[in-house]
Amino acid sequence: MNNNTAQAMEAVVRRYIAALNAGDLEAIVALYAEDGTVEDPVGSPVHRGLAAIRAFYAQSLALKLDVTLEGPIRAAANEAAFAFCVRLHWQGRNTAIRPIDVFRFDESGKIQSMRAIFGPNNMSAE
């Protein structure tokens, strides 16, 4: 059975966005493979394995996030990419970060790797 159809990958992305909005750490971690990786942002140290991924998202979810997709999810082969906006109150001001995340999936449909592509030009005060 192929768990990496475009529809299956899009459903995982939508569950990810919903879990971020709900602050649901366990729902986020459940989307990842045991040996999954998170590189957020690209160029920063990679978080490898579920314990490291859980610690990374626990820190992220310490702030209330308002996450919305910006445009369609792109899915092909075993990867999906999506642009979105994360609004949060950070360093004393309302901030928007607009990354593009790329998920690579394993055979079972779990996220094998997540890479968040953004830089200072993708962050703004709101």
Active site residues: 16, 40
Q: Cα separation of 124 and 126, whole Å?
A: 6
Q: Which residues of 29-50 are buried (b: 16+ CB within 10 A; e: fewer)?
A: bebbbeebbbbbeeeeeebeee
Contact 4, 110 (CB under 8 A): no
**DSSP H or E stretch at residue 47:** strand 47-48
Determine the number of helices (DSSP H) and then strands (DSSP E) in the chain.
3, 9
